[in-house]
Amino acid sequence: MPRQPHVAALLTQLTRSLGHDTANRELRWMQQELQRRRLNLVQDLASMVERRTKGEPLQYILGNQPFGPITLKTRPPTLIPRPETEDWTLRVAEMLKPTPSNPLRVLDLCTGSGCIPILLAHLWPRGSTRALGIDISPEALSLASENAVDHQILPFTHPGSAGNTFDSVQADILHESFASAVLPNLGPPFDLVTSNPPYIPSDEYKALPPSVKDYEDSRALLGDPGSEDRGLTFYRRIAKLISSHGLLKHQGLVVLEVGQGQAAEVKGILEVEGRLRETEIWKDPWGVERVVLGRL
């Protein structure tokens, strides 16, 4: 069936920005999303295409992003879940086997959309997981809570929370008061600590494409707010919370996503500053050393 004239024109417009194959694929996804929402295919498709040609990420335009077997809501400025994060979260879900009789308490630092703990709680058996997400951004925490409820993962105190649970707390893990005033109220230690923290050095941040820098929260990207430490500030803080503030249970596991070229240094930080003896590095599907794990 030939394309309608307005759709063909929109494809041409999108192709100028993205190339034919990508434009064709993304236009199809836009049409499918509009049909799902039962919106005006002509007017709203034109609006979507205009936003995309201006550089707005497709995930914000569609309002969602697949992540493993679930689909998560996305909206600016909360960080969009990435495929590399999806990959290692699925690996962790396969590696650990919580049960209702042997449940896990999970702490996700810098949780953003909640993608990591929500996917784990979705995949693990009902009643086996109590997850907690921490973030500095109220917008991120609101989105994370929506995503959890969308997948029937309710707060621990909710009357219907017999299954796996997700709660969230707004806090700045870098602030000096976090360890003394916030962390004790979270009920440490935890069985599993995960994080995809901000890790981009300031010089690399300046070179990011506008589709990232102009739309996603800089607090979720910049690894050294107020300092220069090659994007490693958050890793040092997490290591300190493990070694000095009882964040992790004995035999507990910490899993940290890292930027390209940072894995060896982060591994060293966990070993020296976090006092973890068992550490390893995972590569992502594209061959990049992407994850550092440590066990207490």
Give the start-to-end residue ranges of the domains of the chain: 5-54, 65-295
Residue ranges, the chain, pLDDT below 50: 1-2
Q: What's the distance, CA 181 to chain centroid?
A: 25
Contact of 5 with 12, CB cutoff 8 Å: no
> Which pLDDT does position 23 carry in this prediction?
95
3-state secondary structure of 275: coil
> What DSSP assignment string belongs to 88-130?
HHHHHHHH---BTTB-EEEEEES-TT-HHHHHHHHHSPTTSEE
> Which pLDDT does position 157 carry in this prediction?
79
3-state secondary structure of 26: helix
Q: What are phi and psi of 150, to 5 degrees?
A: -55, -30
> Which pLDDT does position 2 carry in this prediction?
40
> Which pLDDT does position 132 carry in this prediction?
98
65-295 under CATH 3.40.50.1820, yes or no: no
How wide is the angle at C-alpha 236 spanned by C-alphas 230 and 241, nearest 5°?
A: 160
The radius of gyration of the chain's CA atoms, rounded to the nearest angstrom, is: 20
Contact of 205 with 192, CB cutoff 8 Å: no
> Which pLDDT does position 39 carry in this prediction?
77
> Which pLDDT does position 255 carry in this prediction?
98
